[in-house]
Chain A
Amino acid sequence: MNVQLVGRHDVVSAAPAARPAILEVEDLHIAFPSRLGPREVVRGISFTIGAGEILAIVGESGSGKSVTARALVGLAGSGAELRARSLRLSGHDGEARSLTELSERQWSKIRGREIGFVLQDALVSLDPLRRIGREVGEPLLTHGLVPRAEIGKEVETLLARVGIPDPVVRAAQYPHELSGGLRQRALIASALAARPRLLIADEPTTALDVTVQQQILSVFQALAKAGHGILLITHDLAVAAQLADRIAVMQNGELVETGPAREVLRKPRHAYTQRLLSAVPSAATRGRWLSTSGARPVKAEPERSQPILALRDIAVRFTRPDRSVTHAANGVSLHVYPGETLGIVGESGSGKTTIGKVALALRPPDAGEVLFRGQAWSQLSERQRRPLRRHVQTIVQDPLNSFDPRYAVERIIEQPLLLHTDLGKAARSARVRELIQLVNLPSDVLDRRPTALSGGQRQRVSIAQALASEPDLLICDEPVSALDVTTQAQVLDLLIALQNRLGLAMLFISHDLGVIRHMSDRIAVMKDGVIVETGAAEEVFDAPKHDYTRRLLEAVPRL
């Protein structure tokens, strides 16, 4: 696959101008009305997409990349004001037409027929009451491209084209009967049905597991080869690196850098691109900070005599409504030693979150036991465990979920102090201020509600709360998965700095191999409720022993 990629890049850098442009965007502005007058979210961006070319617009949330994509299919939203010096699409008839000032009726002729649109979440984009075959065949009917009798056949061809096995069977199924990867492929098939020359994909693989993502990316690669122009919107630089011929980096509504993928990634010119690239955790970033330059201090090798947390032969079973039993965890044994980070990595449904809950004693294991500092933990009654809970704290993916919606930040951080200390009001308030400083937040967030904070700020609040009771063990379940890469870098750096300073042990759960590799001393790889491999981080990544680990590592897009 890599060989193929390099080949494609060479072609591009050799003759980028030779391709006839399908879409030309020049000086595009998009503004939304607000109380303070129109607010411009896209400020004069220009790009072209040629036949067979993949252009990736990369940016963080709020950069305006999705709005751009939606505007190109006339779905920017009501009230959006679109201005462009030129916005030209060369359609099937070979004539270039302008996309500005189209009526809804004219748009409906373009959507699907001239531009295919693939969204992030196939489960919400596919009609749950329609079979896949009908969904995919719909554009063929609306645009009157194929006689009714031949639609079934055409749908099968389409499904086969995006790599769906057994197209006849799948066409007769409903979206909920398909796995995430197959659903996403069906969605791509429906976008392709009317044979648009241009395909716009907005975060098409963000909701998918890495092995499935790989399959979807290769579908896009094949489509580009077949001559489709593709506009890929993504926050993931590695995905862009693997797929795109050219990359455009977007920040605050502007394209700060555009160029051949290789050049942008290898020799980024703009400071923002450089910052983005260095913020991506990977093999190369172990031992240095992500959000600032420079090496991070080497952590003392953890003392591995007495584990702080030990999971012994844990089994967790769920009974489904139809009485069948699923094993969320089976025979899982893990040790976390003081001061070290144990990473658990696995795809969705692998049971890693369940293991986190068992370790936190929020869910009793059906078999096996958890020991904390060599003492019973999972087998204590909640009453016995309660005074010990201050030593084991947690950070979750979406802290908004774990904060009582009625509480302001100060109250949230104060909560553990109220529970586990007998500090007076003034002392508590002073300690809260200390904690908020520790996580690098200004003290004026204290009287705000979490809903008024950004994702990164919220995660810092949840870290401050977790640290309030001075724990020895932090259980982090996907703590940075909802964050932008630069915010993620700051939070990861913060966690490492705090670990060095406070000697915390961490159980770090993530689906992101780069994050896991960056953070962990040791790694456990989970699949279907079983730990398939454990070992020192370098060992697992450099010389994976288990087949699944190897497959997982191969599937990760690299920068």
Chain B
Amino acid sequence: MSQALDVIARVRNGNRAGNPWRAPGLIIPLAFVLLLLAAAAMPQWFTALAPDAVDTDAILLPPGPGHWFGADQLGRDVFTRVIYGTSQSLGIGIGATLIGCAGGVLLGTAAGLAPPVLQRLLVRLIDILLAFPEILLALLIIAVLGRGPTNTLLAVGLSSIAGYARLVRSQVLRVWQSGYVEHAVSLGESTPAIIARHVVPNAVRPLVVLATIGVGNAVLSASALSFIGLGVVPPAAEWGALLADGRNFLDTAPWISFLPATVVAISVIAITILGRRLQLLLSQGGEP
């Protein structure tokens, strides 16, 4: 018995001390995210059908061998539409996060290093933006710009700037106080060089991981916008739009909404777990 326990202990220790980069908690979400990226890049590898091919024989067909996720009210294969929607949903998620991060870095750095009066103004601006739920801001932007994939991307991206800006500002302030910035001054580096060479790159480090988690959020926000009909408009195969499509058939053909929704949920969870894991690993030194 004690021998068995010993073996178990050794196995567990082995895992822990062995290689944290090979922990299943990291590998599984990573594999799923890679699968998503593959689906976005090469959807034809995953399905032989076209996303908007109408098959009148398959209208509202439940999930089965031919149609894994069933078919919708026009007889389109739901699985194919989910696969083809990946590129758009993931594209919006990643694009929006990039916009959010870029804006956040600019706004946050300015709010950390600008002259005092401007600094105070910018901090207030960030506070005000943070006070609104992101989805409300996104709705506001959609109301101004109109619907469509590009505008959805912009809306989700712009509305997430404040969150990133707050993080960047706190990091910028920390780095600005650090020994190596002071040391750079004493070496004779100029202020713009210090900001570009030391402050921003070091302040942005924690952002990289946060952005991974942010992609998950952005996918969710974009889907939500599409679901309420303000983002990407059907017949495009965006995930949120797919959910919206199935709304009227929830009683009779729940799979039209339910299975794409499951994919969205699993994707967001996988991306978020991946982000958190990376965050944990990198904060522990990151040495594999």
A residues with a Cβ closer than 8 A to B are 33, 35, 360, 362, 382, 386-390, 392-394, 396, 398, 401-406, 415-416, 419-420, 465, 469
Contact = CB atoms under 8 A, between A and B. Distances in A.
B183 A419 contact: no
A284 B202 CA distance: 46
A393 B186 contact: yes
A465 B191 CA distance: 20
B202 A401 contact: no
B188 A394 contact: no
B183 A33 contact: no
Contacts of A405: 180, 202
Contacts of A388: 188
B190 interface: yes
B154 to A, nearest CB: 32
Contacts of B201: 406
B178 to A, nearest CB: 7
Interface of B: 13, 17-18, 178-180, 182-191, 197-198, 201-202
B171 to A, nearest CB: 13
Given A393-B187, A415-B189, A419-B188, 15 more contacts: A35-B18, A362-B185, A386-B190, A389-B187, A389-B188, A401-B178, A401-B179, A402-B182, A404-B197, A405-B180, A406-B202, A415-B187, A416-B188, A419-B187, A465-B187
Contacts of A389: 186-188
A35 to B, nearest CB: 6
Nearest to A468: B187
Nearest to B285: A451
21 contacts: A33-B13, A33-B17, A360-B186, A362-B182, A362-B186, A382-B185, A389-B187, A390-B188, A401-B179, A401-B183, A402-B180, A404-B184, A404-B198, A404-B202, A406-B202, A415-B187, A416-B188, A419-B188, A419-B189, A420-B188, A469-B187
A387 B188 contact: yes
Contacts of B197: 404
A519 to B, nearest CB: 21
Contacts of A386: 188, 190
A404 B180 contact: yes
A177 B189 CA distance: 41
A393 B187 CA distance: 7
Contacts of B188: 386-390, 416, 419-420, 469
Interface of B is mostly: helix
Contacts of B190: 386
A402 B180 CA distance: 4
A389 B180 CA distance: 16
A35 B17 contact: yes
B239 to A, nearest CB: 37
A398 B178 CA distance: 12
Contacts of B13: 33
A469 B180 CA distance: 17
B17 A403 contact: no
Nearest to A363: B182
A170 to B, nearest CB: 34
A403 B180 contact: yes
B158 to A, nearest CB: 30
Contacts of B187: 389, 393, 415-416, 419, 465, 469
A402 B177 CA distance: 11
B159 to A, nearest CB: 31
Contact of B179 (A387, A398, A415): A398
A394 B13 CA distance: 45
Nearest to A400: B179
A388 B188 CA distance: 8
6 tightest A-B CB contacts, nearest first: A401-B179, A389-B188, A402-B183, A402-B179, A404-B180, A386-B188
A392 B183 CA distance: 12
B191 to A, nearest CB: 8
A394 B198 contact: no
Contacts of B186: 360, 362, 389, 392-394
A405 B17 CA distance: 25
A419 B193 CA distance: 10
Contacts of B18: 35
Contacts of B198: 404
A398 B17 CA distance: 30
Contacts of A465: 187
Contacts of A33: 13, 17
Contacts of A392: 186
Nearest to A35: B17
A259 B101 CA distance: 64
Question: Which of A33, A362, A390, A402 lies at the interface centre, i.e. has the most chain B CB atoms within 10 A of its CB?
Answer: A402
A415 B191 CA distance: 15
B248 to A, nearest CB: 54
Contacts of B180: 401-405
Nearest to A466: B187
Contacts of B183: 394, 396, 401-403
Nearest to A357: B182
